[in-house]
Structure 1
Amino acid sequence: MSKILKVQHLSKTYRSGEHDLNVLNNVSFEVGKGESFAIVGPSGSGKTTLLGLCAGLDTTDEGEIWLCGQNLFELDEDGRARLRNQNVGFVFQDFQLLPTLTALENVIVPLELRGVKKAADQGKELLAKVGLQDRIGHYPSQLSGGEQQRVALARAFANKPAILFADEPTGNLDDETGTKIEDLLFELNKEQGTALVIVTHDLELAKKTDKSIRLRSGKIEETVG
């Protein structure tokens, strides 16, 4: 299985006043094509920092990350941005939809930025897949939290990413709605063959993935799978 994400001996330290804060310490793991992978741990364990580094949103102090065959730290900021635009999807806890755009317009933004023809048709198809074919003209304020996250999922998969990073994707949802979003996430992951990396504190969600690591104080405490 080809590796979409490969992390080797990753460490990250932030300067806090007169002290160094070691957020990640010698973290290594791999995620293959189509695999689902969870990064688990309590608040402050380094989960979100690790996700940001893996997506090339930040740079590391030590170690290396290969994303879709590219060494992230051999690329400048523009190079990392191009790599993300071409290969990466994101889903966040707070949805991050544009409030002045309809559900359909939110979904087709990444398609239009890439100059995709018939972007609206693709957007409608994606919204139908997440069960929102009747809500395409609604604005985020007219949608429930679960519906907004479905729009965010459709948008994340619009560019058929090689890898999707999901940061606490059900954190703002009730249990029943969260379970439906999880099911959708895994369904789209399998259907499109997208590697899926989920940051979560939810151990039950982590059990649904192919592999997982548990972080504590920036170190891998346990590896499953």
Structure 2
Amino acid sequence: MAKILRVENLSKTYQNGNKKLVILDNINFDIEEGETFAIVGPSGSGKTTLLGLSAGLDRSDEGTVELCGENLSLLDEDGRAALRNSHVGFVFQNFQLIPTLTALENVAVPLELRGDSSAETEATALLEKVGLKYRMHHYPTQLSGGEQQRVALARAFCNKPRILFADEPTGNLDEATGQNVIDLLLTLNKDLGTTLVIVTHDMDLAQKTQRILKLRGGKVQELQIQE
């Protein structure tokens, strides 16, 4: 199996006045194409920072990240953005939908930006798949939190990403709604063969993945393989 993400000797620090804060310290792991992978740890352990570095949203101080066969440190900001647009999807805790666009328009936007003439057809099909066929012309403020996250899932999968990064995807949802979103996320992932990387504090969610990376204090505490 090809490695879609390879992280080697990754470190990240921030300067806070005279103090240097070590956020990540010598992180190493790799993920195979099609794998489901969770990154867990307490608040402040570096989970979201690691996701951002892995996806090329930020640069590390030391170490290398290879994403979809590209060494991110050799790409400028435009190059990293082009790689993300072609191969990467994102789901965030706060949905990040555009409030002035309908559900259908929110999902279609990434495809339209790529000049895809079938954007509306593809977006409609995905909204049907996430159970929002009859809500696609509603605006985000007219949708519940769970419905907004389902729109965000449809948008994340619309360009058929090779890898999807989900940052606390159930963090703003109640338990029942969150469980529905988890099931939907894993079903879409399986159907489309996408590699899935989830940052979460929810161990029930993490246990549904194939491997779990446990962070504490910016260091890898354990890399757990699921049965």
Tell me the TM-score normalised to structure 2 length. Answer: 0.98
Query: Residue type of the partner of 1:110?
Result: P
Structure-1 separation of matches of 2:178 and 2:30: 27
Q: Residue type of the partner of 1:56?
A: G
Q: Take 1:5 and 1:13, find their aligned partners in 2: how far apart are those partners?
A: 22
Matches within 5 A, 1:24-173: 24-173=24-173
Distance in 2 (alpha carbons) for counterparts of 1:146 and 1:46: 26
Is the aligned partner of 1:18 residue 2:18?
yes
Cα drift, residue 177 of structure 1: 0.4
Structure 1 CA distance, aligned partners of 2:81 and 2:217?
A: 29
Moved over 2 A (4+): none
Letter in 2 for 1:188: L
Q: Distance in 1 between matches of 2:87 and 2:204?
A: 28
Partner SS for 1:89: strand
Deviations 1:34-92 (CA, angstroms, capped at 9, x unpaired): 11100000100000000000010110011110000000001011100100000100000
> Counterparts of 1:194 and 1:155 in 2: how far apart (Å)?
14
Aligned partners of 1:60, 1:93: CA distance in 2, in Å?
Answer: 23
Aligned length: 225
Residue 177 (structure 2) pairs with residue 177 (structure 1): yes
Tell me whether 1:216 sits opposite 2:216 in the alignment: yes
- Structure 2 counterpart of 1:82, which letter? A
**Cα offset, 1:212, TM superposition:** 1.0
Distance in 2 (alpha carbons) for counterparts of 1:120 and 1:77: 29
Distance 2:118 2:179 in 1: 32
Q: Secondary structure at the match of 2:185?
A: helix
Partner amino acid, structure 1, of 2:178? G
Task: Give CA-to-partner distance per residue, 1:188-220, whole Å, 9 cap, x none.
Answer: 111111100000011111110011111000000
**CA shift digits 1:88-144 (9 cap, x unpaired):** 000000000000000000000000000111211110000000000000100000000
Q: Report the TM-score when normalising by structure 1.
A: 0.99
**Per-residue CA distance 1:159-186 (angstroms, 9 max, x = gap):** 0001000000000000000001000111
Deviation at residue 222 of structure 1 after TM alignment: 1.0
Give 1:200's aligned residue.
200
| Structure 2 unaligned residues grouped into runs of 5+ | none
Cα distance in 1, alignment partners of residues 104 and 185 from structure 2: 19
Residue 33 of structure 1 and its aligned partner are, at CA, apart by 1.0
- Give the alignment's Cα RMSD to 1 decimal: 0.5
In the alignment, the residues of structure 1 paired with residue 34 and residue 178 of structure 2 have an alpha-carbon distance, to the nearest angstrom, of 22
